[in-house]
Amino acid sequence: MQATVVEKKTRDLRGIAIAIIAFMAAAGIFLMASGKSGMNSTFILTSQRAGITIAAPDVVLPTMTSLIVLGVLCAAAGFWHVFRGFRNGDMIVILVAGIAILAFLVWATSDKSLNLTGMLVSSLVRATPIALASLSGIYSERSGVVNIGIEGMMLVGAFTSVVFASITGNMFVGIIAGVLSGVLLGALHSVLSIKYKVNQIISGTGIIILALGLTSYLQRAILNNYPELNQPGPAIAALPIPGLWQVPFLGPVLFNLSPIIYTLFALLIVTQVLMNNTRWGLRVRSVGEHPKAADTLGINVFRIRYISVLLSGAIAGLAGTYMSIGAAGRFNEGMTAGKGFLGLAAMIFGNWNPFGAFAGSLIFGFFDSWQEKLALLQVGIPVDLLGMAPYIATMIVLAGFVGRSRMPAADGQPYEKE
């Protein structure tokens, strides 16, 4: 049976490789006919931050030659996988996806220029709420509780943080209020799911509906009538790291960011260490995999799950806070726009691991950013179709990886203590 499964997976991966070769052949014919010969693609690395120009040389590539080279590399990867095979089967998908994205950017910028530094900064900014949502999901689901209510927790966090920051004139108070509102909804979800054993999908869906209805009503009844409650001030300013933020190219991308993005980086490291190198993390994972065995060893399954879901709510509240006072500087109705669901998709892509989920979030953030940049470049693709890019990317990623991810064995299963 195991040999049959391995053979099927091998056939599937070779089928993917053959499909890649066929796709690149078709794309090559299209590109040859698109008249890009003699043109150059320019990627600008110079950026401006806080009125200071951080100079870096532009990258200028001959469009047609670059496309041919990238196409040959992609086809070579496909042929290699057909005849020899990559040790890691997912490598072919990741490699070809990266080459295809680069090739498309080269094609889109033919005889034009694109500020690559700005695009990467925008991608990271847009990926931040998705990455925080994915971390929120990891804490909850690693303990065995499905939390699709992250979207609702983010929305309430965004609303609450704006109101409290506007009332007090203090952004820090707004952040704390947003996080606590997420904890409150996390407590509601944990009580329904753990104590009363309500179906976790239904409980999470109820939280989303509650959040959508409540924030929409409060927006119209309060914020529209008292606009001063929706004016927390400018979005949280970037915090440049002295000595690093003016490094060409890397400085603006990594070292001149919002404090909440730095908090995300810290949470990634803390979560990785916590889940894999501490006693508490081992207990969380054991509760998510085999709660009965954990209970037999004296681990309080219910307490671990309560704490995990509350932490999940806190991080989801922080994600919503970032979207309002951290980026937009105000609350808009339905402003989360599915970022909580994208976070869950990134979590699955990353196989319930923090840095894998962050990689998935960067992919979605990149596609969210590139649809805006490509619209400015006027590449001839309808704006509405470009706006679908992050969601199409979600479907492609999940189609390629969801069958290869392994969720915690007891995820979504209420525990009955005997």
The domains of the chain are located at 2-110, 117-401
pLDDT for 264 equals 97
pLDDT for 1 equals 45
Instruction: Give the least confident one: 1-5, 245-249, 271-275.
Output: 1-5
Strand partners, 40: 62
d(CA 22, CA 14): 12
CA dist 367 → 199, 326, 407 (Å):
33, 21, 26
| pLDDT > 90? residue 330 | yes
d(CA 305, CA 90): 32
| pLDDT > 80? residue 105 | yes
More confident residue, 6 or 248: 248
The number of beta carbons lying within 10 Å of the beta carbon of residue 243 is: 9
pLDDT for 28 equals 59
Instruction: Give the least confident one: 133-137, 203-207, 355-359.
Output: 355-359
| pLDDT > 60? residue 16 | no
| pLDDT > 60? residue 9 | no
* Residues in Cβ contact with 171 at an 8 Å cutoff, skipping those fewer than 6 apart: 165, 232, 233, 236, 325
Alpha-helical (H) ranges within 169-199 are 171-190
* pLDDT, tens digit, 9 for 90 and up, residues 353-397: 999 899 889 988 888 887 777 777 777 777 677 667 667 766 766
Residue 66 dihedral angles phi and psi, to the nearest 5°: -65, -40
The number of beta carbons lying within 10 Å of the beta carbon of residue 291 is: 24
pLDDT for 3 equals 46
pLDDT for 5 equals 44
pLDDT for 87 equals 63
* pLDDT, tens digit, 9 for 90 and up, residues 39-84: 899 999 998 876 788 888 999 999 888 888 887 887 777 777 667 6
The number of beta carbons lying within 10 Å of the beta carbon of residue 81 is: 23
| pLDDT > 70? residue 129 | yes
d(CA 214, CA 387): 28
Average pLDDT, the chain: 86
More confident residue, 129 or 78: 129
d(CA 376, CA 355): 32
Q: Helix crossing, 259-277 with 301-321: angle to 10°? A: 160
Which tokens is 288 given?
């998510």
More confident residue, 76 or 193: 193
Q: What is the mean pLDDT of residues 175-182?
A: 97
d(CA 385, CA 407): 32
Instruction: Give the least confident one: 7-21, 217-231, 385-399.
Output: 7-21
d(CA 105, CA 366): 12
pLDDT for 275 equals 95
Location of structure tokens 């219910």: 302
Q: pTM for the whole thing?
A: 0.90
d(CA 333, CA 216): 6
Q: Grade residue 2 by pLDDT with cuts at 50, 70 and 90.
A: very low
Burial of 395 (0-12, 13-18, 19+ CB in 10 A): exposed
* Residues in Cβ contact with 363 at an 8 Å cutoff, skipping those fewer than 6 apart: 346, 349, 393, 397
Strand partners, 61: 41
Instruction: Give the least confident one: 12-21, 146-155, 376-385.
Output: 12-21
| pLDDT > 90? residue 235 | no
Side-by-side strand order, sheet with 40-44 = 59-62, 40-44, 112-115
Fold of 117-401: ABC transporter involved in vitamin B12 uptake, BtuC (1.10.3470)
| pLDDT > 70? residue 27 | no
| pLDDT > 50? residue 15 | yes
Which tokens is 349 given?
């892509």
